[in-house]
Structure 1
């Protein structure tokens, strides 16, 4: 099972806020508020101190800064590649954003529909219309009465308009919306009311009968006539990670399939079906192979939903497999030499090598084949060369070849 993100529940947040407030400010505060986040937040709304006391001093914001898990990584990947039309998050945390940043993406969550339109030029939007712990914590929504605030209600209306225009008649995968934060369920249910989904798949460990009680609006949306509903009682992180692995393996199979026809034409032999198989590595290893198939280094994110211009790339992969090369996490082993294969389409080999100066922790290979690159016979750096893994004067790892040079070097 994927590791949990360990974010606090609504009850835990309420208890921490209440205990701190009672200790530091008001020892006589009604103990009945402890454990009830909505009631506690409304208490501060009534005293006009929701922002100045509750949000700025009591909310345990560091508790929302936890390690991301494979589920967050999957969502970041799907949004960067636009495999998903959008993400709608009910969480204040920035775990999805942090994973996208670590992949090398310039990524942000959108706070309303207008921002989602702007962000859609770079990625599929991550809409966080009830607030974000990093971007605008003072405007995060904690109490139902906040929905009457003109600024917050306008933000939600802009988000509803965007969702109605962009998510209508789509398949919805719901992970974590059936939360113990009841007012959030109501907000999200209202926001999705006009989306009219084709299907709703809910990933939640709760019994099915509990979902309707916890979020009646969401339940009604999922059970409108002609909407296909499915409840998957598994970990959300596990399901997302499994979905991502399937996406990556499908992507890599397309790369191999693209080279099959030219392989059979040039070799005069049929392609062994086993050569079209992808080893079932973990999702991060498969992600690295997708990066190589796109031709991007470890400091940049994969952004393609499907491979493009990969006929020669698939062809060379099949040549290696025909020669008896065995798969490894970063490429192949052939006759005792490790080989990494990247997409070098339309690139100059020397320039591409400079682009692939990666962190010392990255796996290194003896040979790097940039399929589709043009070798002009020039060094990648006219200044004195560095060394792979050197922090002062780094260089790309391995000996670099274009397709023809690699075939000669490997005798395939």
Structure 2
């Protein structure tokens, strides 16, 4: 197991992503990062013990301290679901705000950048993050559910179950060898063996105090043969072999390397999402370079071809504009595209002195947004975005690259709105040729 830094780990994961080889395994540690701050197993066990012991006092033996032993105790009594999960586990414990890691995982699943993901988490924070990104992550707790997802939908298999169905979640060792969990885990393991064959597997948030989750995952991955494994965890590299023996052995089976990045999983996934977005934007900029040189006679400044260092969410919004995603649609692509006119538009704006601010270009105080709108009438694109942008960040201009400004009859073309104090000045929607002329690009 070789220790590498954050940048080296992200580069390896990004290479796998563009080669359609990237898979993700995430554990409870991912959801413990703020602002999600889902409680640890020890915290849940302590609250359960306090409640149980204060209820029965000396009339019964005290409840065990570990969550594994607590769950097994109630499972053997036939009271795991109806008593332990219903009475002693807070049903709001797994709710929270998705963190940067959840948003990155959801984004990369929705775009197909992550081909397969497997999680031991019962929370729905990756799914909630997908909703914030205007998409539904393809989730299932059984092989049949994930196998039945639409073609092109990257699956997220939740091997431990989901808190939307507490009765189907795995908490006790006894459940693993009892039906229906035993068959569910075996079928999931067989499915994962095929899905993760020769894939590059990023593991985040795995080494936590949820020991029984680790055992479930180890069973699910028993026959998996990945190509490369990148473990992301703040722990010291030396502890892995003893703390998670089965996963260490999985890493030893990797044919192209076993690496450790000593970092938070949320930080790693967020940085991967940033570099993924910047790579797509960089490709668009470079695709316009030759066209710009042919048109102007000189090559563009190399600095104009290097994408912004904005945060992950801003870059995601720019990516959606590059794809031509309509309002309330997620970003869907994960492979770089050639868009010479789109790239040339960005270069021409920079050549005129424009600088990127949020998702707009500031040209002499005017905010300009650039959208991809191939083969669409300009008035239809404008209508689709009519309520999409809040007035406080509304641009003065929107350049719809690829759209055509059609001559419309008076019944449709009613002229530009006058604006108001509430809504601000009206946005000027322009096709690329009209914007070039009007803005002097």
TM-score between the two structures when normalised by the length of structure 1 = 0.92
Report deviation, 1:298.
4.9
- Structure 2 SS opposite 1:119: coil
Residue number in structure 2 paired with 1:124: 154
Does the 8 Å contact 2:396/2:427 carry over to 1? yes
Does the 8 Å contact 1:75/1:240 carry over to 2? yes
Residues 321-366 of structure 1 deviation map (CA, whole Å, 9 limit, x = unaligned):
1222112111211122110001111222111112223153773100
CA distance in 1, matches of 2:127, 2:42: 25
Report deviation, 1:5.
2.2
- Structure 2 SS opposite 1:314: helix
CA distance in 2, matches of 1:128, 1:342: 37
Residues 281-300 of structure 1 deviation map (CA, whole Å, 9 limit, x = unaligned):
11111111111101124522
Residue number in structure 2 paired with 1:261: 290
Higher relative contact order (CA 8 A, sep 6+): 2
Task: Identify which of 78, 83, 86 aligns with 2:108.
Answer: 78
CA change 1:188–1:53 in 2 (3 A) is same
Task: Identify which of 323, 348, 352 aligns with 1:319.
Answer: 348
Report deviation, 1:373.
0.9
Give structure 2 stretches of 5+ with no counterpart. Answer: 1-32
Residue number in structure 2 paired with 1:329: 358
CA change 1:31–1:25 in 2 (3 A) is closer
Task: Identify which of 59, 67, 70 aligns with 2:97.
Answer: 67
Q: Does 1:271 align with 2:295?
A: no
How many equivalent residue pairs? 407
Residue number in structure 1 paired with 2:216: 187
CA distance in 1, matches of 2:161, 2:287: 44
CA distance in 2, matches of 1:387, 1:184: 60
Residues 120-164 of structure 1 deviation map (CA, whole Å, 9 limit, x = unaligned):
536311110211112x22110000110122211222122112211
Residue number in structure 2 paired with 1:12: 43
Residue number in structure 2 paired with 1:44: 74
CA distance in 1, matches of 2:132, 2:215: 33
Residues 180-210 of structure 1 deviation map (CA, whole Å, 9 limit, x = unaligned):
1112112112211222111111111122232
Q: CA RMSD in A?
A: 2.6
Does the 8 Å contact 1:386/1:395 carry over to 2? no
Report deviation, 1:225.
6.5
CA distance in 2, matches of 1:19, 1:380: 74
CA distance in 2, matches of 1:274, 1:366: 26
User: Which 10-residue stretch deviates more, 139-148 or 11-20?
Assistant: 11-20
